[in-house]
């Protein structure tokens, strides 16, 4: 790929906001483990399911117990209209995965 990267263009202010974006299924970029440019498969990162028994969840359950339980205001309306899209890149040579920076997008999709 020629020219400055998407990250560099966003940083420089050339791109302020991206409405929607299609990502290629495969991308050629440097693999830090292989030490060279290899082909990576692209997938969208999705947040995992939260554990009900995690310390944060148990602490919050204890706070909410009894009379007047909620300890901080619940978020009702968010100011943001976009979500950050993070890409999961998997090197086809060493099968290691890495994630990219998140960019704000209304809609992110991987080209079929």
Q: What are phi and psi of 18, to 5 degrees?
A: -110, 125
Q: Does 94 bind Zn ion (CB under 5 A)?
A: yes
Q: Please tell me whether residue 34 binds Zn ion under the rule CB under 5 A.
A: yes
Assign 9 to helix, strand or coil.
helix
Give least dist CB 91 to Zn ion, A.
3
* Residue 37, SS3 per DSSP: strand
**Measured from the CB of residue 40, what is the shortest distance to Zn ion in angstroms?**
8
Query: Interaction with Zn ion in 62-91: which residues (CB under 5 A)?
Result: 91
Pick the closer one to Zn ion by CB: 14 or 34. Answer: 34
Q: Which residues are CB-contacts of 51 (< 8 A; sequence separation ≥ 6)?
A: 57
- From 16-24, 65-73, 94-102, 104-112, give the range in contact with Zn ion by CB under 5 A: 94-102
The string of DSSP letters for 65-78 reads SSSS---SPPP-S-
Site of interaction with Zn ion (CB under 5 A): 31, 33-34, 91, 93-94
């Amino acid at each position: 790929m020629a020219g400055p990267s998407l990250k560099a263009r966003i940083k420089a202010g050339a791109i302020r906001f991206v409405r929607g974006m299609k990502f290629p299924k495969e991308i050629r970029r440097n693999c830090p483990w292989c030490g060279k440019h290899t082909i990576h498969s692209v997938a969208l990162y999705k947040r995992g399911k939260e554990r009900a028994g995690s310390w944060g969840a148990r602490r919050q359950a204890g706070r909410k117990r009894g009379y007047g339980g909620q300890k901080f205001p619940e978020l009702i309306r968010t100011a943001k209209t976009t979500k950050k899209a993070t890409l999961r890149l998997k090197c086809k040579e060493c099968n290691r995965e890495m994630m990219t920076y998140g960019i704000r997008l209304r809609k992110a999709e991987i080209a079929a």
